[in-house]
Amino acid sequence: MKMDKILLSLAHMGGNEQKYVAEAFATNWIVPLGPHVDEFEHRLERFLHHDNVVALSAGTAAIHLGLVMLGVGKGDEVICQSFTFSASANPVRYCGAEPVFVDSEAETWNMDPLCLEEAIIDRKKVTGRYPKAIIPVYLYGMPAKIDEILEIAARYNIPVLEDAAEGLGSEYKGKKCGTFGRYGALSFNGNKIITTSGGGALICPDKESADRVKFFATQARENRPYYYHEHIGYNYRLSNVSAGIGCGQMEVLPEHLERRRAIHGLYAEGLKDVAAVEVHNNPSADYNSNFWLSTILIDPEKTKVSPDDLRRALAEENIESRLLWRPMHMQPVYSENPYYGGNVSEGLFDRGLCLPSGSSLTDADIARVIGCITRTLA
């Protein structure tokens, strides 16, 4: 008999989401603004201990508007972590600029500060200008070496836009990811820690900036009694209905974070005696990943089973897994863009796998995953 499907990361409702959605329908707030949008932003602000959060239609929209606010335009360059999803880099192209990719370091799998500084110095030599912004990513929820990144950014006076799309609730030295840089982007896509079905938010430095983000997110309409536009704007504001889902999700966010971290703990314990497997853990007590996705590396010197072999073995048992992100500098669409670093991210891609990590999964589900991995690598 075929066993139930175990998905990688499924949306997990808390129960009150429908109440907020019904309220939006009952009051006819079926528009991209409204009381649920305001409340969702306030709840995010309280959780992050940071004011001036703007709810948007997607995490990609948040990165795009962050770049717009930083003045990124045609002919500019933006330094971006290569080991990431394409939505970290694509908004750079939306602005008419080009991403410059840098490698990761092996501890967090995120932007390598040494490669970052090498890229900054060399781009100045090549173009005569420093890059316009830096986009570090919190891959799979793991905090980056953000102190070092911020120190280098400050030395060259380059603003940091954090891609915290996967990092809601993650902390570095007790501070929430997304609140370190000039701007921080969050995602509430359907597979994230919490969801609004599709949605995101931009964490802004002050009220003036937040108001300007809202201006650009609502087609940049000037304050006149008729439609008047001096700037190009976008339709990026979050729907009041979607924000209602977000309000309900915020009620269960602490439990979702606790469960994701507990699932990671189950993997770490259950796979500790599998010689060919290394579970990716927090590098030190300074790091507190949300473990949005628990990930492993497979040692090719200890097994002939590749990550894709294991992925297919898990799929045979009705378990979804995913290979790690293929770095951006290895993608055809960015093959001509500058890249600085070695082969850390390429090596991680070659050796890694994401395991089912949804907060709705049971201990028995995780035991099934561990059992399949153990048998396959035996």
Residues 187-204, mean pLDDT to the nearest whole number: 96
* pLDDT for 102: 98
Identify the residue with better confidence: 1 or 308: 308
Give the C-alpha distances (Å, rounded to integers) separating 327 from 90, 128, 309, 339, 343: 13, 27, 20, 11, 10
* pLDDT for 47: 98
DSSP 319-377: B--EEPPPPGGGSGGGTTS-EES-SHHHHHHHHEEEE---TT--HHHHHHHHHHHHHHT
Residues 226-255, mean pLDDT to the nearest whole number: 98
Q: How far apart are CA 227 and CA 119, in angstroms?
A: 43
Confidence tier at 33 by pLDDT (50, 70, 90): very high
- Of 81, 161, 75, whose CA–CA distance to 113 is shortest? 81
Q: What is the pLDDT of residues 336-359, one digit of tens each?
A: 999 999 999 999 999 999 999 999
- Of 116, 117, 67, whose CA–CA distance to 88 is shortest? 67
DSSP 250-262: HTTHHHHHHHHHH
| Average predicted confidence (pLDDT) for the chain | 97
* pLDDT for 306: 98
Confidence tier at 378 by pLDDT (50, 70, 90): confident
- Of 83, 140, 150, whose CA–CA distance to 341 is shortest? 83
Residues 306-321, mean pLDDT to the nearest whole number: 98
Kind and range of the H or E run holding 286: none
The CATH architecture annotation of domain 253-376 reads: Alpha-Beta Complex (3.90)
Residues 75-97, mean pLDDT to the nearest whole number: 98
Residues 41-65, mean pLDDT to the nearest whole number: 98
* pLDDT for 354: 98
Q: What is the pLDDT of residues 140-180, one digit of tens each?
A: 999 999 999 999 999 999 999 999 999 999 999 999 999 99
Please check whether residue 253 is in contact with residue 132, taking contact to mean a CB–CB distance below 8 angstroms: no
Q: Domain residue spans in the chain?
A: 17-250, 253-376
- CATH fold of the domain at 17-250: Aspartate Aminotransferase; domain 2 (3.40.640)
Confidence tier at 3 by pLDDT (50, 70, 90): confident
* pLDDT for 205: 98
Please check whether residue 298 is in contact with residue 353, taking contact to mean a CB–CB distance below 8 angstroms: yes
Kind and range of the H or E run holding 118: helix 113-127
Residues 229-245, mean pLDDT to the nearest whole number: 97
* pLDDT for 1: 67
